[in-house]
């Protein structure tokens, strides 16, 4: 006879349940861009493409990239309504790196207002 997950969970110790919940939280914090879009928003690739003034194919390609320009990441996350923070973690401290954010503000201020849609 199979047991339901809730039945198995009831048999777990409180400590085990806390560890499982903590691991689930950690897993939710590690998402691909596609998982982020689907899990945090109701936006489709077409919606993001319209906001970024690019094609849906461009967004699809962006979501699958292993390496990308920070400017693309900033634009994508901002289209979802979020902000990117870059942090460097060391043994005894953590430092937020802000120089890239400033570069993006400068680029945005200097960019021409009428952009053409980018294609993949």
Do 40 and 9 share a domain, yes or no? Answer: no
Q: What pLDDT is attached to residue 5?
A: 74
Instruction: Assess whether 5 and 60 both reside in one domain.
Output: no
Q: Are residues 99 and 63 in the same domain?
A: yes
48 and 62 both lie in a single domain:
yes
**Do residue 23 and residue 72 come from a single domain?**
no
Which CATH number characterizes residue 55's domain?
1.10.260
- pLDDT of residue 74 exceeding 90: no
Q: Are the beta carbons of 43 and 105 closer than 8 angstroms?
A: no
Express each pLDDT in 24-39 by its tens digit.
767 666 788 998 898 8
Q: Tell me which long-range contacts 110-118 makes (C-beta under 8 A, separation of at least 24).
A: 115/53, 116/53, 117/53, 117/54, 117/55, 118/52, 118/53, 118/54, 118/55, 118/58
For residues 68 and 16, membership in a common domain is answered with no
Same domain, 26 and 39: no
The lowest-confidence range among 7-16, 32-41, 59-68 is 7-16
pTM above 0.85, yes or no: no
Same domain, 19 and 72: no
Q: Tokens in use for 13?
A: 């110790």
Domain that holds residue 18: 1-30
Whether the CB-CB separation of 49 and 59 falls below 8 Å is answered with: yes
pLDDT in tens, 77-104: 989 988 888 888 899 999 888 877 665 6
Number of domains in the chain: 2
Indicate whether 114 pLDDT > 50. no
4 plus 37 within the same structural domain = no
More confident residue, 100 or 49: 49
On whether both 76 and 120 belong to a single domain, the answer is yes
- Residues 14, 60 share a domain: no
Q: Which of these, 109, 33, 116, 30, lies nearest to 77 by C-alpha position?
A: 33
């Amino acid at each position: 006879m199979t047991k339901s997950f809730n039945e198995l969970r009831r048999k777990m110790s409180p400590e085990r349940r806390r560890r499982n919940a903590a691991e689930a939280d950690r897993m939710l914090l590690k998402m691909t861009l596609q998982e982020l879009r689907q899990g945090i928003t109701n936006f489709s690739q077409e919606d993001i493409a319209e906001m970024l003034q690019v094609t849906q194919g461009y967004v699809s390609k962006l979501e699958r990239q292993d390496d990308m320009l920070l400017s693309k990441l900033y634009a994508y996350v901002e289209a979802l309504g979020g902000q990117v923070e870059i942090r460097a973690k060391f043994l005894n401290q953590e430092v937020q790196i802000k120089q890239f954010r400033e570069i993006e503000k400068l680029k945005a201020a200097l960019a021409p207002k009428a952009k053409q849609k980018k294609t993949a």
